[in-house]
Amino acid sequence: MRILVLWDIDHTLISVNRLSRELYRAVFENLVGRSPTRLAPMAGRTERAITADTLRLHGIDPTEELVRAFTTALGRAFDEHRHELAERGRELPGARSVLTALADEPVIQSVLTGNMEQIARHKLVAFDLDGYVDLSVGAFGMDGAERPPLVRLAQTRAEAKYGERFDARSTVLIGDTPHDVLAGHEGGARVVAVATGTSDEAALRAAGAELVLPDLTDTEAVVQAVLGVTRR
């Protein structure tokens, strides 16, 4: 039985946070006609939820039409600025080593990310990490406002493509926020959490992650945690 590994992207594999915020602000101003006074919290949340809440913070009703217009414009902005991702962002320590090591195991790697698919692809391509993951079976930030249902969605997509059943015993979510931990536990996955974002190890342990690491530099620890799912 193979294992489905669902990677969070931002602050787990890479970091481009400042650019993302700049583009959100620019899109808001172009679409609404005024600068945003603040953005909704982003860490561990979906593009759909961030967009809707940012609009609400400014007294704007986040209709489906407006949210779609906003995220379409956001996708175009990332298209136009994709060359800046590698220039201004960084690949996080250990990410490539773990991706490479898992590629040699009975594992299918994909993503469960708050990014819309177009943006997720740009971010991974910018750091040459896209070849390690099968994005066709991932779940993305426009697939739903909340993350937990995205786990089952990714499992269903992987089952349809690979003809195998994936459940909580054979699915691992790797992320950096309590939202990722919640998504895994409510959605049907074990969780490896890394304190490479805004949440420290204590917060991730309190959220209930099965394994909490300071980062991804201990390749063997991550690989063993992933493979251990089927040996419990």
Dump pLDDT digits (tens) for 53-64. Answer: 999 999 999 999
CB 222 within 8 A of CB 165: no
Residue 232's pLDDT band, with cuts at 50, 70 and 90, is: very low
**Res 231 pLDDT > 90:** no
> Which residues pair with residue 175 across a beta bridge?
193
How many other C-beta atoms can be found within 10 angstroms of the C-beta atom of residue 230? 12
- Least Cα distance to 172 among 218, 216, 134, 226 occurs for 226
- Residue range 66-104, pLDDT digits in tens: 999 999 999 999 999 999 999 999 999 999 999 999 999
CA distance 229 to 178: 20
Q: How far is CA 141 from the centre of its chain?
A: 8
pLDDT computed for residue 214 by the predictor: 97
What is the β-pairing status of strands 171-175 and 211-213?
Answer: unpaired
- Token duo for residue 100: 């490479």
**Res 50 pLDDT > 50:** yes
pLDDT computed for residue 229 by the predictor: 44
